[in-house]
Amino acid sequence: MDKQEVRSNLLNIMSNEEQVKIDENLSTYTFTHTGGEADLFVKPQTYEEVGKTVAYANKHQLPLTILGRGSNLIIRDGGIRGIVIHCGCLNQIKCEGETLIAQSGASIIDVSRFALAHALTGLEFACGIPGSVGGALYMNAGAYGGETADVLRGAVVVDTNGSILKLEDHELEMGYRHSAFSQKGYLALEGTFVLKKGNPVEIKQEMDRLTELRELKQPLEYPSCGSVFKRPTGYFAGKLIQDSGLQGTRIGGVEVSMKHAGFMVNVDHGTASDYIRLIRHVQETVKKKFGVNLETEVKIIGEEPNK
């Protein structure tokens, strides 16, 4: 792949030079502050630009990766080959009666606050989830008993051919940390959330309560990717890790959090390789001690660094 040639082709799709970058450092786009470079990094400003970029990648058989706010990703230190699309410029949120329509690059925390400002209840659970709307749809993000699927009524997506489709909730196949986005490779452009009229004082109280719980339990003072592992059936990942005596274990600059065993925090210039080695170590130890397989919730993508 000739990066300069691909860049100039992609610039024909975009409206300004700044929207396509070569060898962009992705560590500034991840919550762990780790990760290598993207060959091509694209920031579309319209749905059409997204659709055309996907169609271009498809036509030229270039790998395509979608980056949200990078709060559930470990990007290997060798970076990402092909094209990375970042939807951060698509961040509008609007309200139509009891319905909120939010573009994929908007932060789900902002959407939750927007709901509060319009006295709408149903998105309080999302007030501390640091991802984007696109990431929340892809992951079916949830917390404290609520999840995205509870309030999602539809989405506008781009399929792998670059066509823009409007889908209803039943077509989105939302399950535990799973969705049609992960199964069918859809790129989310916007989500429609159906909420209910509520009392703003009560909505705010609930958001404050959940924020307090989060601040009490989670090591928010350090870079991390949230809960590293999915909840194994019948167990809690954090408890298994704690009971394995793994809290405080450090590889390179990354440590199993002392505050919340399900989190791994970047305490001293850790790399993605440190994260991955620590994840494997925790998986092996828990398997040996309890016979339970811990599956990662965090997505690990990209290439190993050249030795």
Ligand X SMILES: Cc1cc2nc3c(=O)[nH]c(=O)nc-3n(C[C@H](O)[C@H](O)[C@H](O)COP(=O)(O)OP(=O)(O)OC[C@H]3O[C@@H](n4cnc5c(N)ncnc54)[C@H](O)[C@@H]3O)c2cc1C
Contact 124, 199 (CB under 8 A): no
Binding mask 216-245 for ligand X (x = CB under 6 A): --x-x---xxx-------------------
Pick out residues in 96-135 that bind ligand X (CB under 6 A): 104, 129-132, 134-135
With binding defined as CB under 6 A, does residue 139 bind ligand X? Answer: yes
- At 12 the three-state DSSP class reads helix
Indicate whether 151 belongs to the interface with ligand X (CB under 6 A).
Answer: no
Residue 86: closest CA among 70, 74, 98, 68: 68
Nearer to ligand X, 98 or 182 (CB): 182
Residue 230: strand, helix, or coil: coil
In the block, residue with structure tokens 């390789």: 273
Considering the rule CB under 6 A, would residue 84 count as an interface residue with ligand X? no
Check residue 142 for interaction with ligand X (CB under 6 A): yes
Contact criterion met (CB below 8 Å) for 84 and 26: yes
71 is a contact residue toward ligand X (CB under 6 A): yes
Half-sphere exposure for 236 (CA within 13 Å, toward CB): 8
Catalytic positions are: 177, 227, 297
Is the separation of the CB atoms in 167 and 190 below 8 Å? no
Q: Does the protein bind ligand X through residue 136 (CB under 6 A)?
A: yes
Residue 2 burial (CB < 10 Å; 0-12/13-18/19+)? exposed
On whether the CB atoms of residues 140 and 235 are closer than 8 A, the answer is: no
Chain centre to alpha carbon of residue 235 = 24
Examine residue 36 and tell whether it contacts ligand X (CB under 6 A): no
What are the tokens at 140? 């079916």
Nearest approach in angstroms of CB 254 to ligand X is 14
CB of residue 23 to ligand X, shortest distance in Å: 19
Near ligand X by CB under 6 A: residue from 13, 42, 67, 115: 67
Q: How far is the CB of 298 from ligand X (least distance, A)?
A: 8
Smallest distance, Å, CB 72 to ligand X? 3
Asked whether position 66 contacts ligand X by CB under 6 A, the answer is: yes
188 binds ligand X (CB under 6 A): yes
Is residue 179 at the binding interface for ligand X, with CB under 6 A as the rule? no
**Structure tokens, 147:** 């999840």
**Position 141 contacts ligand X (CB under 6 A):** yes
Check if the beta carbon of residue 33 is closer than 8 Å to that of residue 267.
no
Interface with ligand X (CB under 6 A): 31, 66-73, 87, 104, 129-132, 134-136, 138-139, 141-143, 181, 187-188, 218, 220, 224-226, 299
